[in-house]
Amino acid sequence: MDIFSGILFGFQTILEPSNLFYCFVGVFIGTLIGVLPGIGPIGAMSILLPMSFGIPTVSSIIMLAGIYYGAQYGGSTTSILVNIPGEASSIVTCLDGYQMARKGRAGPALGIAAFGSLIGGTFSVIALMFSVIPLAEAALKFGPPEYFSLICLSLLICIYLARGSFVKALIMILVGLILGCVGIDSVSAFPRFAFGCPSLYDGMGLGQVAMGLFGISEALLNLEKSLDRTIFQTRVKNLLPNIQDWKKSMGPIMRGCLLGFLLGILPGGGAVIASFLSYTVEKKISKEPHRFGQGAIEGVAGPETANNAGSGGGFIPLFALGIPANAVLALLLGALIIHGVAPGPTFISQHPKIFWGVIASMYLGNFMLVLLNLPLIGLWVKLLKVPYRILMPLILLFCLIGAYSINNNIADMIVMIIFGMVGYILKKLSYEPAPLVLAFILGPMSETAFRQSLILSDGRFSIFVNRPISAVALLIACLLLVSTGFSFYRKTKAEVIVE
Amino acid sequence: MKNHYHQLIPPLFWIGLSLFVMVLSYRMGLGGFHAPGPGMMPFLIGVVLFLTSSYLLGKSLSKKAGREEILCEEKGETNYGKIGLVLGSLFLFAFLLETLGYVVVTSLFFVLLFRSVGNRWRTVLLASALAVFVTYFGFTLLGVKFPSGILKF
C-alpha cells in the first residue's frame, strides 16, 4: 500500500464513529491529565490499559496514542496560568509563559502554545508517515543480533538521558530486566522466579506494575506536597496571537519542529529534552536574550512545538522496529502485544488498519486538541480549581479498579499496591521508575534475541560485531558508556580538588 | 559527623537481590554459550547488578555521599501517618471488595480518604456519594464486573 492510499485508508478507519469517539476520548483524557498535576500520561495510560482490553485493538491504540500526545497540549495550560508544569515537557514553558500571563498576555501565550503544538504535531505525523515505511523495509533484513544490539543501545541511551544518577538509572534497568524474566521461559518452558505461584507463570502483569509504579506512587508522593494551588487571577482574552507575535514565533516553531522530531526518535524521553534544547537554542540565537524569562513569546512557541514534534517522533522506532523510545510508548507496545499485535518490520503490512488508523487519528487528534484547548480554555481553568484532596481518592480508585478489571482478581490489586509502595520508596530515594518499565517490556525481547543470536553463531559472541548494523549500534553504545564514564571521572576529580 | 547507616540500605538491598537472582539462576541451569539455558540471562543481569550496587555501596560509604544525603533529607518532611493511612485504605479496599461489594467498600474508601486529607464532613459525604454513584455507572459502562457482596448488586 502506497502512502496516498494508506492515508486514505487511515481516514476511512478514523472516520468510523467508534474510532472517532475513542480518538476524542484519548485527546480529552490527555488534555485533562496534562492540565491536572499529580497524574501523568504513563499513570493515565496504565490505568486505562486494562479497560481498553474490551474494545477493538485499533480503537484502543488510537485512544492510548491520543492520551500520549494530548498530554503535551494540556501541560502548557498549567505552566502558563499556574506556573506549575502539568508535564515534565512543559517545565520550560513556565519560564516565559507565566511571565506573559502576569503581564496580561495569557491569551496569546496559550494561543501560540496551542498553534505551535498543532504545527509541531502535524509536522511530526507527516515526517513519521514518510520515514517509518522505509525504515520498516530496511528492518526486514534485521536478525536477532541486530535486535539485541539495538535494544541494548536503546536502554543505554535511556540511562544516558535519564534524570539524576547514571548508576541509579542503570540499576533500574537491571531490575526491570529481572522482572521481565519472571514467568515461563519461552525456549525451555522452565518457570523462572515464579516460586510455585501459577499466576506468575505468565510473567508480571504490565498493567499492575505500571499502575503501581506511576499511579499509586505518584498519589502517595503528592500527599507530601501542599494540597492547594493558587491560580493566577487573570482574564484569559485574545487567544489569537497578533502579527507581531507570529513574526517572532515562526522561526522558533520551525526549529522546534525539526529539533523535536529528531530528538523524539531517540530513546529516553525525547519530548522533555526537545523542549529544553529548543529553549536553549532560541535564547542563544536571539538578538535580545535578556527578554527570555521576562515573557518572551519565543520561549513558549519553540519548546511547545518541540515537545509535540517529539511525541510524534517517538512512534518511528515503535512502529518500524517494535522498540519503544520511552516508558509511555513502552506501555503502548505492551497494549499492542496484549491485543495480539507484534510491532516490528512487518507491522505495517500485517496490520495496515492499526498503523494508518493511528496516523490519521494523529492528524485529526491534533485539530481536536486545538479546539479543546482554545475555545474550551475556561473549562480547563475551572478544572484547575478542583483541589487535589478531591482528585487523589479518585485517582487511587481508578488504579484499584483498573488492576481488578484485568482478571477480576484481588491478587492483581495487591500486586499493584505493592508496586505502588516500591515506586514510592524508589522515588523517595531518587530512583526513576521509567527506565525500569522500559527494560521490563524490552527484557523478554532482548533475551530472546540474545539467545537466538548465540544459537545461530554456535556460541560465538563475534556475531554481534560481524554484522554491520549490530556493530554500529554496539559501537555507539560503547561510545556512550565511555563518554559517561569520562564525564563522571572529571566530575569526581573536580569534587576531590574542591575538597 | 553523625553516621547515616540508612544510606547503605538501598545498595545492600540491591546486592542481596543480585545474589538471590544469581543463585536462583544458577539453579535453573546456565547452559552453554552455544545453547543458553533459562538461567543464563538472569545470571548475567545479576552479575552486572552486583557490580553496580557494590560500586554504589562504596560511594555511599564515602564522606561526600553522606553529606549529599543529609542535604536531600532536609528538603522535605514525610507524613508517614498519612501515607500509612492511604496504604491501609488501599489494602482494606482490596481485601473487602469481594465480601462487601463495590458500593459499600467504595463508600467507606472515599469517606476515609476524603476525610483524611482534611475535607469537611459535609464535603466528605457529598463527594463520596457522588463519586460512588458516578464511578459505579462509569465502570459498569466500561464493562467492569464487580463482585456483588452483601448488598447483592
Q: What average pLDDT does this structure show over B36-43?
A: 92
Q: What average pLDDT does this structure show over A139-153?
A: 86
| pLDDT reported for residue A23 | 92
pLDDT grade, residue A67 (50/70/90)? confident
Return the residue in B117, B120, B125, B148 with the most chain A beta carbons within 10 A, the one to mutate for interface testing. B117
Element (H, E) at B153: none
Q: With H, G, I as helix, E, B as strand and everything else as coil, classify residue A244.
A: helix
pLDDT tens track for A158-167: 787 666 788 8
Q: Do A219 and B86 touch (CB under 8 A)?
A: yes
Q: What percent of chain A has pLDDT over 70?
A: 93
pLDDT tens track for A20-55: 999 999 899 888 887 776 667 777 787 777 777 778
Q: Is the pLDDT of residue B1 over 60?
A: no
Q: Which DSSP letter does residue A183 get?
A: E
Q: What percent of chain B has pLDDT over 70?
A: 82
CA B58 → CA A174, A465, B9, B55, B61, distances in Å? 19, 34, 12, 5, 5
Q: Is the pLDDT of residue A273 over 60?
A: yes
B14 interfacial to chain A (CB closer than 8 Å): yes
For A447, nearest residue in chain B (alpha carbons): B41
Q: Is the pLDDT of residue B13 over 90?
A: yes
Q: Which DSSP letter does residue A15 get?
A: T
For A184, nearest residue in chain B (alpha carbons): B38
- Residue linked to cell 491529565: A33
Query: For residue B40, which of A146, A334, A177 has the smallest C-alpha distance?
Result: A177
pLDDT grade, residue A230 (50/70/90)? low
Residue in A171, A390, A393 closest to B52 by CB: A171
The answer for A295, left when phi > 0, alpha when psi is -120 to 50, beta otherwise, is left
DSSP, residue by residue, B68-106: HHHHHHHH----HHHHHHHHHHHHHHHHHHHHH-HHHHH
* Lowest mean per-residue pLDDT among A127-131, A450-454, B68-72: B68-72
| pLDDT reported for residue B73 | 47
Q: Is the pLDDT of residue B66 over 70?
A: no
- The CA R_g of chain B, rounded to the nearest whole Å, is 24
pLDDT tens track for A435-482: 898 889 888 888 989 999 999 888 888 999 988 889 998 998 888 888
CB under 8 Å to B133, separation ≥6 — which residues?
none
| pLDDT reported for residue B20 | 95
One-letter amino acid at A464 equals F
For A394, nearest residue in chain B (alpha carbons): B131
Distance CA B29, CA B152 (A): 51
Q: With H, G, I as helix, E, B as strand and everything else as coil, classify residue A218.
A: helix
Q: Do A455 and B139 touch (CB under 8 A)?
A: no
| pLDDT reported for residue A41 | 76
pLDDT grade, residue B43 (50/70/90)? very high
- Residue linked to cell 482490553: A53
- Domain residues of chain A, as ranges? 3-144+206-442
Distance CA A316, CA A322 (A): 9
Query: For residue B27, which of A458, B19, B49 has the smallest C-alpha distance?
Result: B19
Count of helices and strands (H, E) across chain A: 23, 2
Q: What percent of chain A has pLDDT over 90?
A: 14
- The CA R_g of chain A, rounded to the nearest whole Å, is 22
| pLDDT reported for residue A45 | 80
Query: For residue A479, which of A155, A156, A150 has the smallest C-alpha distance?
Result: A156
- Residue linked to cell 448488598: B151
Q: What is the mean pLDDT of chain A?
A: 83
C-alpha cell at A321: 522496529
Q: Do B98 and A190 touch (CB under 8 A)?
A: no
C-alpha cell at A250: 515562526
For B85, nearest residue in chain A (alpha carbons): A220
CA A230 → CA A221, A225, A388, B67, B105, distances in Å? 20, 14, 12, 35, 33
pLDDT tens track for A320-333: 888 887 778 888 88
* Residues of B in Cβ contact (< 8 Å) with A185: 38
pLDDT grade, residue A382 (50/70/90)? confident
